[in-house]
Amino acid sequence: MTTSLSGCKVMHGSLRPKKFEYLFLLLAFTSLLLLPSSEQHDCCEREKSYVEDADLFTISYEDSFKMVKNLLHNISYKLMEKDSNVSAFNRCKNTRSFHIPLNNYTTDSTISVAYFELLGILYKMKGVTTDYISSPCALKYIRQGKIKPINASDPAQSSSYEGVFTSLNPSSETTRCTNINFDSTFDPGPLKRAEWIKYIATFFNCEKRATYVYNKIKDNYNCLKKQASNATKKKPNVAWLSYYQGIWSFSGATYKLQYILDAGGIALNPPESTFNMSKQKDVQLFHSYLERLEVLIDETYAPIPKDYTLNSFLNAALINSSQTASFAFLKHKALWRYDKRVGNTYGLDWFEGAIAQPQVVLWDLIQAFNRSDYYITVYFRNVAKGESMVNTSKLNCSHTIKTPLQPEIIPCHLTVPLDLTQILS
């Protein structure tokens, strides 16, 4: 579905699976929000942008250039207009210079792709070194040859691009002069991570669009957060856990604990964060914590995500069928994973679209925390109920490569558990 505003087409809702289309029609209708007008085909306009929430980057403006600083790696980017007479300096050291807007770029990570789509600059991405992209549109343009796969082990293939958005540590970089370190996942909060859209926007003079998109996401996130906090239902105990080589671990990542709190849950974050399942004492202690959980989010890595089932969890957790009734999250079928959306090579959209649009993640979790037989999630699948996945490569890309993606705006009047009267009224 597209809307033309001041000659600039806007696409709505590529996240939506085909299932439960009536709900997503409502979401699409609700998210028809007016974009800032623009004479540029990618809806970008020059306007100063200010960092409100993110901790790990800054933006400042001088008379003839702007400075963007990545605080994680202490790298500054001096951005000058292409027709500027300001000279470049120290391109390959801690201050790197770029002439903007960039006409072409590549990326070695999936993390930045969703930001590119929201800004409407995917058409400038001419190459990619990662095989794990899950965006339906990016996958389509790769198949069409508009975005070319690049061999990551051959730095020369990236040398012709004006910018290389990278998630590599600077000490391991090979094309330092044109590398742009993008580190949204290190910022410790859902909205802090989403605000990195402003960081990317500065390289394309798209600050006005970035500010608009971020404000819409932030407002929607906070509205949903308020709704969850006002719920009268008992707050569930929730935890993020993962299993690797015989050891279960509780995650204490700040943004994950923030998601639990904002979605109306209580984070179970025990002092003993790891449990060796070869030791009976650890098994007993681990089970005692699991018995306190109403919702469990299983982050265990699975090379082939669809092969991870309820039995995979039970076997790793050393829980037999006769014990399941002792665990509330199993009794009430509240075992979740964030691998619902996957690309051709099993790349998870959790590491792509979910980072740029945390309001959708929050809505998923609000539903997961409020047990119901009726719900519709985007990123999370219920393993306890044997839910299937969505192959994003088979989803339609209903817009052109130059069309900006509109952020999903979840109607705040919806409450959980969902019912048809809410959706169809």
**CA 120 – CA 303 distance, rounded (Å):** 32
Listed range (3-12, 242-251, 292-301, 334-343) with the worst mean pLDDT: 3-12
- When pLDDT is averaged across residues 26-39 and rounded to a whole number, the result is 37
Does 272 score more than 60 pLDDT?
Answer: yes
pLDDT reported for residue 199:
98
pLDDT for residue 220: 98
**Mean pLDDT for all residues in the chain:** 86
Contacts of 87 (CB under 8 A, 6+ apart): none
DSSP H or E run through 216:
helix 207-229
∠ CA 385-391-394 to the nearest 5 degrees?
140
Q: How confident is the model at residue 248 (pLDDT cuts 50, 70, 90)?
A: very high
- Structure confidence at residue 40 as a pLDDT band (50, 70, 90): very low
Rg for the chain, CA atoms, rounded: 22
Instruction: Name which residue leads in pLDDT, 381 or 418.
Output: 381
Q: Which range, of 97-101, 206-210, 420-424, averages the lowest pLDDT?
A: 420-424
**Residue 377: alpha-carbon gap to chain centroid:** 14
Q: Which of 325-331's residues contact partners 24+ apart within 8 Å by CB, and which partners?
A: 326/291, 327/290, 327/291, 327/293, 328/291, 328/293, 328/294, 329/290, 329/293, 329/294, 329/295, 329/296, 329/384, 330/384
Q: Is 245 exposed, middle or buried (0-12, 13-18, 19+ CB in 10 A)?
A: exposed
Residue 425: which pLDDT band, with cuts at 50, 70 and 90?
Answer: very low
Pairing of strands 148-149, 95-100: unpaired
pLDDT at residue 352, rounded to an integer: 96
Q: CA-to-CA distance for 31 and 411, rounded, in angstroms?
A: 8
13 vs 359, which has greater pLDDT? 359
Q: Is 300 exposed, middle or buried (0-12, 13-18, 19+ CB in 10 A)?
A: middle
320 CA to centre of own chain: 35
Q: Calculate mean pLDDT across residues 298-327.
A: 96
pLDDT mean over 93-118: 93
Work out the percent of the chain whose per-residue pLDDT is above 70. Answer: 83
Structure-token match 């028809």, residue found: 32
Establish how many alpha carbons lie within 13 A of residue 301's alpha carbon, considering only the half-sphere containing its beta carbon: 8
On the question of a common fold for 40-220 and 231-424, the answer reads: yes
Residue 20 Rama label (left phi>0; alpha psi -120 to 50; beta): left
Q: How confident is the model at residue 87 (pLDDT cuts 50, 70, 90)?
A: low
Q: Structure tokens of 269?
A: 């974050």
pLDDT > 90? residue 200:
yes
Position 244 pLDDT exceeds 50: yes
CATH architecture under which domain 40-220 falls: 3-Layer(aba) Sandwich (3.40)
pLDDT at 233: 75
State the average pLDDT over residues 110-123.
96
* Bigger pLDDT: 257 vs 396: 257
pLDDT the model gives residue 374 = 83
Query: Could you tell me the residue ranges of all domains in the chain?
Result: 40-220, 231-424
**Which residues have a Cβ under 8 Å from the Cβ of 356 and sit 6 or more positions away?**
114, 115, 118, 193, 194, 197
CATH 3.40.50.1980 fits 231-424, yes or no: yes
Res 91: pLDDT:
59
CB atoms within 10 A of CB 25: 14
What pLDDT was estimated at residue 85? 66
The more confident residue out of 276 and 178 is: 276
Indicate the range of 92-101, 116-125, 238-247, 361-370 predicted with least confidence. 92-101
Banded pLDDT at 54 (limits 50, 70, 90): very high
The strand ranges marked E within 282-384 are 295-298, 335-337, 341-342, 381-382
pLDDT of residue 173: 54
Average pLDDT score over residue span 14-40: 39
Mean pLDDT check: name the lowest of 14-18, 115-119, 240-244, 340-344.
14-18
